[in-house]
Amino acid sequence: MELEEYFSPEEAESAKKYVEVFHDTILINNELSSTKTLLLCVYMLSNSKKISSLKISDVKSLFLQAGRSEIEFSKALYEVTARHKEPELKRLGETVKLTYAGVKIIKNLLHNNKRD
């Protein structure tokens, strides 16, 4: 398991500030908010699977593996799908996919190396 499975070669180096691959586990820096962690999980899985729509259960699994809790996942999912005028994730039944706003947040995070 390598970062290049989840990020483009240009993004992989920046991603190291937030994501650590430790053997068969992906860890995400706790300094990122739960919402940015969720968006990052969706971004990573979308890149890895080469699809935009993901099962919520797959995203949740990565989010929990990254060191976050189920409560944090539920709150973050609500925040990014329902709370904002322009949602960062679009939820369709049991699937989610990044919106333009969500992709921009992750691209800015990776390309500007900004923390929360």
Q: Please tell me whether the overall predicted TM-score, pTM, comes out greater than 0.85 for this model.
A: yes
**3-state SS, one letter per residue, for the chain:** CCHHHCCCHHHHHHHCCCEEEECCEEEECCCCCHHHHHHHHHHHHHHHHCCCCEEHHHHHHHHHHCCCCHHHHHHHHHHHHHHCCCCCEEEECCEEEECHHHHHHHHHHHHHCCCC
Tell me the pLDDT tens digit for each residue of 81-99.
987 778 999 999 999 999 9
Ordered by start, the domain boundaries in the chain are 3-111
State the fold for domain 3-111: Arc Repressor Mutant, subunit A (1.10.10)
Nearest-CA neighbor of 38 among 89, 84, 113? 89
Tell me the pLDDT tens digit for each residue of 14-48.
999 999 998 889 999 999 999 999 999 999 999 99
